[in-house]
Amino acid sequence: MQIKEEYNGTITISREGVEKRVLTWSDHICVGCGICHDICPTKAITMGPLGAIAKGDIDAPKLDIDGNVCVLCGMCACACPFNAIDLKINDKSIKELPQYPKILRNITLSQETCVLCGQCEIVCPQGAIEVERELPPRKNLVLGEISINKDKCVLCGICAEYCPADAIDLIPNDMNSLSPKPIKDIVVDTDACVFCKVCEKACPHDAIEVICYKCPLAKRIEKPKLYTDIKGKTTIDKDLCVTCGWCENICPVNAIKVEKPFEGELIIDEKACNACGACVAICPCNALTFPKPADKAQKVPRLAVNQDLCVLCGACAKSCPVSAITVKRTKINMTETKATAWKKAFEKLLAK
Amino acid sequence: MPEHILSGIKALVAMKMRKEGKLQKEIAEYLNMDRSIVSHYLHGRYPSDRVMKVSEVIVELPVEYGARIIHSLSNDKYIAKKLIKVIYNAKIKIEKDKCLACGACLGCEAISIEGIEVKINENRCVLCGECISKCPMNALKFVEE
């Protein structure tokens, strides 16, 4: 007896017995590629109207699993390149069980090499990367000395008006006091000061003296090693990551390595494409675009794909209303399996 | 009544074994019966004609049906297995192309999942055919040995 439950974007199908099997599908991770639908040996999975869902025309789950037809074999969980489906056998995920085949897909990041530039965080189409930086205080970077000769200073505040770093403040006098002076004091925030000497030049009474250690006019000191003070961490959420390769392509120091699940290419039939944009909207990798037409006479924009960023998941092909996209997979990077039925099912994912 | 039909099936099995050249003693030991009863059967003094008629119909059924009926008649599953073995000479086989190792057949002591394949321990299997009815992929079936 299998029980199916649907709650808040997840589907759970469970069966008790000698083995406890629980299949779960999460809408928020699922990109709608339909690999599970293609591989399912019992045809228990049906895809929603992906084109309309991708464009936001309708709000519906990307797929449905028939609880009566599903036999909880777990093939979809092993094939899902995005970990949106999982099967737990006696509370252990099928992906941790060595006897089951796995699609190999990985992303590794070398924290030692990473310079925390954060470009990967910006380009990641899934928002799976987070760069946290702990920078040393700015005063460690801008080195110098500033002093105001209080005997000379007339508290005019011209320096404060010129200061580009808002480092100089005039402190107003307490109006209730007996002293007639409106300004009590002048203070410099040395953490904010950039030692630019603007105040020194502006001061009508030569009351300010600034020494910049890095300025060619002042005495130099040796460049302190500041980079070692920069701490931080780049984290990748492997559940959300689709191994599209944006981060690997963009990383200026080659700190990220991505292993993709499939090899092959995406073929676009330009004549059939009516530029509806469903594929662009659904692509989890942002690999599809409509570049600006070079030829002004061209009426329908031409769809283009960056093969390096495509994971060949096929979500675009499934969402295309005119079947203008074909996914041609030539190789699946996966572990070996002896089970014939499984082997054959995975072979179906390859182009014939 | 079930006991009578089971006796009828035993009589048919005893006769079949005799035709295959088995001795009365061997047949009695195989079916765990009194030798005198085997002797009765072999000399034509078997249960009533109606019982024999029903027994013959059961024996002529395809194995997947016959085996289940014989199991439902017998309280001793090992005797039932022996009867099925002689009548149909069948065993349960897994079609590897179809089996997904979904685990629906588990629960029988003869069946286990090793790696990602379902294995049947033939010594423990009593040919009851229950796994066949549980398999959602029709990967299990009786085959002649």
Residues A332 and A255 in one domain: yes
Residue A72 banded pLDDT, cuts 50, 70, 90: very high
Which chain B positions have a beta carbon within 8 Å of A100's beta carbon? 116
Beta-bridge mates of residue A46: A64
**Is the pLDDT confidence value at B48 over 90?**
no
The Cα B54–Cα A89 span in angstroms is: 45
- Residue A211's domain comprises 138-220
The Cα A124–Cα A246 span in angstroms is: 6
Q: What is the pLDDT, as a whole number, of residue B50?
A: 85
Query: Would an 8 Å CB–CB cutoff place A340 in contact with chain B?
Result: yes
For residue A261, the domain's CATH number is 3.30.70.20
- Cβ B136 vs Cβ A46: under 8 Å: no
For residue A209, the domain's CATH number is 3.30.70.3270
The Cα A350–Cα A265 span in angstroms is: 11
The phi and psi torsions of A34 (rounded to 5 degrees) equal: 80, 15
Number of domains in chain A: 2
Coil/strand/helix, residue A99: coil
In chain B, what percentage of residues exceed pLDDT 70? 99
Of A189, A220, A251, the residue at which a domain comes to its end is A220
Helix axes B63-73, B2-19, angle to 10 degrees: 120
| CB contact (8 A) between residue A21 and residue B103 | yes
Which residue from A minimizes the CA distance to B98?
Answer: A341
Residues A247 and A341 in one domain: yes
Which residue from B minimizes the CA distance to A16?
Answer: B104
Residue A195 within any structural domain of the chain: yes
Residue A138 banded pLDDT, cuts 50, 70, 90: low
Q: What is the pLDDT, as a whole number, of residue A181?
A: 80
Residues A198 and A288 in one domain: no
Strands in A189-314 per DSSP E:
208-212, 231-236, 256-259, 262-268, 288-289, 304-305
The 10s digit of each residue's pLDDT in A295-341 is 777 777 888 899 999 999 999 999 999 999 999 999 999 888 888 88
Query: Would an 8 Å CB–CB cutoff place A151 in contact with chain B?
Result: no
Residue A285 within any structural domain of the chain: yes
The 10s digit of each residue's pLDDT in B76-98 is 888 899 899 889 988 999 998 88
Give me the domains of chain B, ranges plus CATH numbers. Answer: 1-88 (no CATH), 91-144 (3.30.70.20)
Q: Is the pTM of this model over 0.90?
A: no
Give the length of chain A.
352
Nearest to A341 among B98, B107, B115 (CB): B98
Q: In whole numbers, what is the pLDDT of chain B averaged over residues? A: 88
DSSP letter for each residue of A273-303 = -----HHHHH-TT--EE-PPPSSTT--SPPP
Residues A339 and A260 in one domain: yes
Q: What is the pLDDT, as a whole number, of residue A219?
A: 55
The phi and psi torsions of A305 (rounded to 5 degrees) equal: -125, 140
* Chain B contact residues (CB < 8 Å to A): 96-104, 106-107, 113, 115-117, 136-137, 139
Which residue from A minimizes the CA distance to B119?
Answer: A339
Query: Would an 8 Å CB–CB cutoff place A89 in contact with chain B?
Result: yes
Kindly give the residue spans of alpha helices, DSSP state H, lying in A12-69: 35-39, 50-54
- Tokens, residue A36: 């599970």
Residue A24 within any structural domain of the chain: no
**Is the pLDDT confidence value at A199 over 70?**
yes
Residue A34 within any structural domain of the chain: no
Helix (H) or strand (E) run with residue B55 in it: helix B49-60
Closest by Cα among A21, A22, A29 to A238: A29
Q: What ipTM describes this predicted complex? A: 0.77
Average pLDDT over residues A26-37: 90
Residue A221 banded pLDDT, cuts 50, 70, 90: low
Residue with tokens 């449905």: A64
Residues A206 and A255 in one domain: no
The 10s digit of each residue's pLDDT in B84-141 is 988 998 899 999 888 999 989 988 889 998 888 899 998 999 998 889 988 998 999 9
